[in-house]
Amino acid sequence: MGEKISLFKEDGRRTDGRALDELRPIKIKVGVLSNAQGSAYIEQGKNKILAAVYGPKEALPKHISLPDRCILRCRYHMAPFSTPERKNPAPSRREIELSMILRNALESLVMTSLFPRTVIDIFIEVLQADGGTRCAGLTAAVLALADAGIPLKGLAAACAVGKAEGKVIVDLNDLEDKYGEADMPIAYNPTLDGITLLQMDGIMSKEEIEQALSLAITATQKIHKMQVDALKERFSFSRREV
């Protein structure tokens, strides 16, 4: 107790050897589940996340349907084996809250008015967690929606920025998330030049927030490029399903 954890090495780099504004290695694959209408898999550092989409389909029970647009249902869930200690598979308070937050973020991207009276189900399953799962989950969910053929107002990408030992850092891992001073997940849609998700936990000055925002937009633009490449790869001729 009371032992101080250092989040930076002597050379100024982070514990995993990254620079302050460096993302973790990202691997994205689209169309990984043949039973779902759309799916995507993302590895961001040690995070491993699957996203699947079903729908649009008739909203049941009928009273939940809306006459002018479709509704989105989102389930963010962490597998029992996703954390160092077994996680109770029942949805926790945090998972219920994140499901709602991700649904709201995705709702602003989907052209819901094209499918009145229907529902779209989005499942985000965290297979292995290492900080920043909501951001990686959102990045994958957007791709799963596009893979399902659902019309979108652009592809949003998400990345967390934060502060550790007084320095603004990008793409926080689990250690930085737990022991850092602030954490600010952001999802950015470059097409609309708009932020679709912004949360913050911790304390940052106005200048730090401005710096963090600018770093987050640069980072999400890099992730966005990877999303575009993964989606084009999925539909390109050279790809063969095995």
d(CA 65, CA 89): 29
**Min CB(133)–other proteins separation in Å:** 23
62 vs 206 by CB, closer to other proteins? 62
> Could you tell me the smallest distance in angstroms from the CB atom of residue 140 to other proteins?
15
- Select from 199, 30, 49 the least CA-distant residue to 129: 49
235: alpha, beta or left? (left if phi > 0; alpha if psi -120 to 50): alpha
Terminal-residue alpha carbon distance, the chain: 51
Residue number, 91 or 190, with CB nearest to other proteins: 190
Which residues sit at the interface with other proteins, rule CB under 8 A?
A: 38, 55-58, 67, 70, 111, 115-118, 146-155, 189-192, 227-228, 231-232, 234-238
Give the residue with the Cβ less far from other proteins, 122 or 126. 122
CB of 73 to other proteins, least distance (A): 14
Q: Compare residues 14 and 41 and give the one whose CB is closer to other proteins.
A: 41
Using CB atoms within 10 Å of the CB of residue 67, give its burial: 0 to 12 exposed, 13 to 18 middle, 19+ buried.
exposed
User: What are the E-state strand segments in the chain?
Assistant: 26-30, 38-44, 47-58, 71-78, 118-128, 157-164, 167-170, 182-189, 194-198, 201-202
Q: How far is the CB of 69 from other proteins (least distance, A)?
A: 10
Residue 231 CB, shortest distance to other proteins, in Å, is 5
Which alpha helices (H) appear in 78-205, and where do they start and end? 93-107, 133-147, 174-179
| Of 17 and 67, CB closest to other proteins | 67
